[in-house]
Amino acid sequence: AQKITQTQPGMFVQEKEAVTLDCTYDTSDQSYGLFWYKQPSSGEMIFLIYQGSYDEQNATEGRYSLNFQKARKSANLVISASQLGDSAMYFCAMRGEYNFNKFYFGSGTKLNVKP
Partner 1 sequence: SQTIHQWPATLVQPVGSPLSLECTVEGTSNPNLYWYRQAAGRGLQLLFYSIGIGQISSEVPQNLSASRPQDRQFILSSKKLLLSDSGFYLCAWKHFSPKVEETQYFGPGTRLLVL
- 105 near partner 1, rule: CB under 8 A: yes
Stretch that binds partner 1, among 15-23, 67-75, 76-84, 94-102 (CB under 8 A): 94-102
- Using CB under 8 A, pick the residue from 14, 52, 69, 112 that binds partner 1: 52
CB 49 within 8 A of CB 35: yes
- Using CB under 8 A, pick the residue from 19, 65, 106, 111 that binds partner 1: 106
- 25 near partner 1, rule: CB under 8 A: no
- Using CB under 8 A, pick the residue from 3, 16, 70, 102 that binds partner 1: 102
**How far are the Cα atoms of 9, 41, 69, 115 from residue 76, in angstroms, in the given order?**
14, 22, 9, 24
Nearest distance from residue 66's CB to partner 1, in Å?
13
- Number of CB atoms found within 10 A of residue 78's CB: 16
Dihedral angle, C-alpha 26, 31, 36, 42, nearest 10 °:
-100
Helix (H, G, I), strand (E, B) or coil at 86: helix
- b/e burial code for range 86-103 (CB count within 10 A of at least 16 → b): bbbbbbbbbbbeeeeeeb
- 12 near partner 1, rule: CB under 8 A: no
- Smaller CB distance to partner 1: residue 21 or 106? 106
Q: Which residues bind to partner 1, rule: CB under 8 A?
A: 31-33, 35, 37, 42-47, 50, 52-53, 91, 95-97, 100-103, 105-108, 110
